[in-house]
């Protein structure tokens, strides 16, 4: 039988540019971020020097074109960088994730040329962005938001409160969703660019969280904030499209964050089980432990394949909504399971802050909650498969 000339390209095979950014991000995480992780977690605050270093590394504007002073990279490059950073600290991983997969992507897709020229160079080089959709009464029901916007000449006057806003303390540019006509329901939602320092806009309560503690999660107050019409992103009344379609991409970023957590827990488990001795030999020599490590490796690889597949589909401009929901759902499950297994393998040491795995466990829980709960991902998947079946 003649041999077939078939070239196999594994889904996890990276391009040269993707591999270079992955390696650079991994080195940055291991050498610069890792020594700061415990202190930042205890203080519940990002080290300000890290923020500057992220911009210097080009990690805050990966997909922003070079003409706007960005890296001119791909979506997949953002994903592998988020994964590598989150492998060491998911608090820092979500900091760059929100910037790249939510804020920057929204500006790139929906911004006019004038908007892009004004804001993208800032987002690429010096200013942190925040994505402001959630409110007290609008979580999974995202379009039940009460934040209002009333037209006033060449501006809109915004009033309301936003909750659970990631990067709020560090951000200077806030993408705020408000309704200009509540009677029209979601058809009145509009995306406004609110800038720090605008009169009536303030950062309020900072949440004291279980995990990703160094990442700031705050309440925002908008009291008669006058936002020029020039600061509207996309079309008036079409903010729901901006929100939905940006979050679809953002879920892949959360998937990358979760496989980063899972990888960190797995790496720590491999290292510890080789070093820890009981009954005269390393616990990695016991078959029961080997089975657990093998299970972790399989589930991590499955989660990574789902995340990378969704990212590749998005890059190829193919339908990816179902795949993004699957990636986020399953990677969150795997991150929580693997970090829990890591604690079991560490025993008593896994339960104390001297070792890293208890933090991986705390950080993993958010994956089932933000940017669409696990139940919402299952609902999305079910709707699509029933429609297509």
Active site residue 117: no
In the chain the beta strands, taken as DSSP E runs, fall at 128-132, 148-152, 155-166, 171-179, 189-195, 201-206, 217-228, 232-233, 277-278, 281-282
Measure the CA angle with vertex 163, ends 157 and 166; round to 5°: 105
For the CA atoms of 180, 185, 186, 192, the dihedral, rounded to the nearest 10 degrees, stands at 10
Q: Which token pair is 361?
A: 């466990």
Spot the catalytic one: 63, 135, 299, 371.
371
Q: Which residues of 283-293 are buried (b: 16+ CB within 10 A; e: fewer)?
A: bbeeeebeebb
State CA 185 to chain mean position distance: 28
Pull the structure tokens for residue 85: 């950073």
What does the buried/exposed string (b/e) look like for 227-246 if buried means 16 or more CB atoms within 10 Å of the residue's CB? beeebbbbebbbbbbbbeeb
Taking the C-alpha atoms of residue 71 and residue 108, their distance in angstroms, rounded to an integer, is 13
Asked whether the beta carbons of 169 and 202 are under 8 A apart, the reply is no
Residue numbers annotated as active site: 371
């Amino acid at each position: 039988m003649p041999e077939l000339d078939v070239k196999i390209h594994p889904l996890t095979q990276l391009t040269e540019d993707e591999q270079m950014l992955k390696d650079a991000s991994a080195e940055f995480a291991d050498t610069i971020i890792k020594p700061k992780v415990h202190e930042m977690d205890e203080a519940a605050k990002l080290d300000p020097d890290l923020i500057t270093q992220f911009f210097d590394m080009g990690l805050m504007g990966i997909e922003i074109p070079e003409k706007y002073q960005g890296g001119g990279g791909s979506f997949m490059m953002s994903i592998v960088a988020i994964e590598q950073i989150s492998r060491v600290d998911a608090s820092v991983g979500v900091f760059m994730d929100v910037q790249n997969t939510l804020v920057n992507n929204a500006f790139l897709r929906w911004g006019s040329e004038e908007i892009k020229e004004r804001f993208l160079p800032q987002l690429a080089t010096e200013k942190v962005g925040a994505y402001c959709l959630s409110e007290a009464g609008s979580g999974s029901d995202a379009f039940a938001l009460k934040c209002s916007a009333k037209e006033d000449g060449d501006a809109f006057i915004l009033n309301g409160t936003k909750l659970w806003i990631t990067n709020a303390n560090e951000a200077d540019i806030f993408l705020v969703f408000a309704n200009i006509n509540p009677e029209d329901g979601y058809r009145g939602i509009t995306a406004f660019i609110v800038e720090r320092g605008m009169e009536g806009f303030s950062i309020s309560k900072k949440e004291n969280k279980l995990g990703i503690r160094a990442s700031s999660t705050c309440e925002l107050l908008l009291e008669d904030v006058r936002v020029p019409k020039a600061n509207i992103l996309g079309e008036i009344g079409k903010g729901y499209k901006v929100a939905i379609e940006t979050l679809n991409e953002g879920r892949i970023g959360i998937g990358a964050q979760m496989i980063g957590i899972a990888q960190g827990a797995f790496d720590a488990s491999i290292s510890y089980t080789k070093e820890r001795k009981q009954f005269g030999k390393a616990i990695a020599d016991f078959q029961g432990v080997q089975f657990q490590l093998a299970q972790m490796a399989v589930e991590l690889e499955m989660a990574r394949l789902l995340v990378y597949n969704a990212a590749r589909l998005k890059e190829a401009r193919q339908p990816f909504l179902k795949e993004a929901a699957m990636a986020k759902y399953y990677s969150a499950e795997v991150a929580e399971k693997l970090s829990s297994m890591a604690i079991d393998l560490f025993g008593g040491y896994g339960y104390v802050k001297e070792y890293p795995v208890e933090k991986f466990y705390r950080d993993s829980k958010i994956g089932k909650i933000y940017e669409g709960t696990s139940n919402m991902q299952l609902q999305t998947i079910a709707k699509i498969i029933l429609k297509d079946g």
